[in-house]
Chain A
Amino acid sequence: MSGTLSRLWMGPLVIAVASLGGLVTALVADGAADWIGVVGLAIPALYALGLWLLPGRFATTQND
């Protein structure tokens, strides 16, 4: 994977794995492990919520 690809996809991959892990873990595990599902879902949810509520936080124009 090239550097560009790595930069492009690392964030989405981490969030995708967290989402999928959360969804599946809560489904196959018993109630005690529901928190893993909550954490998994919380990562993309908080990211999305942060983007929406705090757009200024991501305001820097980047050229890397």
Chain B
Amino acid sequence: MIRSGTTLRRWYQVHKWTSLISTLFVLIACVTGLPLIFHAEIDQLTGSAVEVTEPESRPTVNSMVTAVGTLRPSAAVQMLYIDPSQPEIANLLVGESLDAPLEAGEQLQFSQIDGTFLGGEQLGAGVMGFITRLHVELFAGMPGTLFLGVMSMVFLVSLISGVLLYAPFMRNRSFAVVRTDRGQQTRWFDLHNALGMVLLVWVLVVSATGVINTWASPLIQFWQISEMQTLIADDPPLSEIQRAAGLTPIDEAIEKARQVRPGELFFGVFPGTELSSDRHYLLFFIGNEPLSSRLFLPVIINAYSGAVVAAPDMPWYINTLLLSQPLHFGDYGGLLFKIMWALLDVGTIVLLWSGLVLWWRKRGKSVDIEWREPLASPA
């Protein structure tokens, strides 16, 4: 516990400045994060999610790829994605070309029951797309994402310094007491302290996992250029004859992969895209257990011969990233869990706002006078 006045003032300065620097961005993240908690439910209400029932006999993915050729003649299919909560729908991501940026693609949905085309939507379009881009990248792409990661780290320092300041100011008082008979400043001060300690663990977890999430693209790119390249290095480049024979249908590739990876297909990347190589399907399966359903189990398939090239385990840094995602999104414990997540998010907004109010009312005044008072004369 901090006892020296000099140390206390230093930590107060750390808390003040790290909070001031990061608060605006954390506030944006909290406000935009609120609707994102209920993304799936909002999509259901607004009709963005399509209802299809009885997923039994499934048409081939290849027939959907063929249909894309008719629907979007100039587009290339880059990725197949199956949402585990909607296995009856196959989502095909298409772009202007195979190597076009995936985030600029259009998502086309097909029924896995009868192969019907259900609709298409540009990625990042609509109100939820707007909110997501603001939350994830501040409309500034990867630099915006990394900047938010830095701001989250600054906010983590603010939280830790806040904990260090908590003890000296709340000594000799009951936990979470809010003194309403000492004026508004004291009331905001106590509310800020109480909320900070109540929300501490949740805010720490969500902030820290948010930082990890901002590294998602660089980490995946690192895996591609390091481990994945090593894995496919022994698979020789294709001859002209092999290329002329054309791609193995992705359904066959999925069947081959299932023989080495029991589980559900989560997404598959077509050869020639920025996530794969020029000659491999990259298929990612997920397990059926609560934890394994969050981890990717990749299989690399030669897209021309159909042979399984490798079925590696993902490295620790990718697994850390994947396990941090549910802890950031709060999407792993049902609707009631999401409601709790939203309440804690609202609490964090109040925490940030109370900090701003405290700073605004005290600006220009001596820190010594304002902050030593609770130490000198505890209520």
List residues of A whose CB falls within 8 A of some B CB: 4-5, 7-12, 15-16, 19-20, 22-23, 26-31, 34-35, 37-38, 41-42, 44-45, 47-49, 51-52, 55-56, 58-64
Contacts and interface: CB of A to CB of B under 8 A. Distances in A.
Interface string B152-195: 00000000000000110011111111111110000100010011
Contacts of A64: 172-174
B179 to A, nearest CB: 5
B352 to A, nearest CB: 13
Interface in B283-332: 289-291, 294, 323, 326-327, 332
Contacts of A60: 177
B8 interface: no
A10 B175 contact: yes
B347 interface: yes
Contacts of A8: 166-167, 170-171, 175
A38 B379 contact: no
A26 B340 CA distance: 13
Contact of B178 (A10, A35, A58): A58
B201 A52 contact: no
A64 B176 CA distance: 14
A20 B208 CA distance: 14
B347 A42 contact: no
B171 A4 contact: yes
A5 B182 CA distance: 24
B305 to A, nearest CB: 39
Contacts, number: 136
Contact of A12 (B175, B343, B379): B175
A29 B205 CA distance: 18
A43 B198 CA distance: 9
Given A35-B336, A61-B179, 9 more contacts: A8-B167, A10-B175, A12-B175, A19-B202, A55-B187, A55-B191, A58-B176, A58-B178, A63-B378
B178 A59 contact: yes
Contact of B201 (A9, A20, A56): A20
Tell me what chain B mostly uses at the interface: helix, strand, loop, or mixed: helix
B172 A4 contact: yes
Contacts of A34: 333-334, 336-337
B201 A15 contact: yes
B11 interface: no
A38 B340 contact: yes
Contacts of A61: 177, 179, 181-182, 379
Contact of A62 (B1, B177, B289): B177
B172 A63 contact: yes
11 contacts: A15-B201, A19-B202, A27-B294, A27-B323, A27-B332, A37-B337, A48-B344, A49-B343, A55-B180, A56-B180, A59-B178
Contacts of A15: 197-198, 200-201
A7 B166 CA distance: 13
A28 B178 contact: no
A27 B99 CA distance: 36
Given A27-B327, A31-B334, A49-B343, A19 B179 contact: no
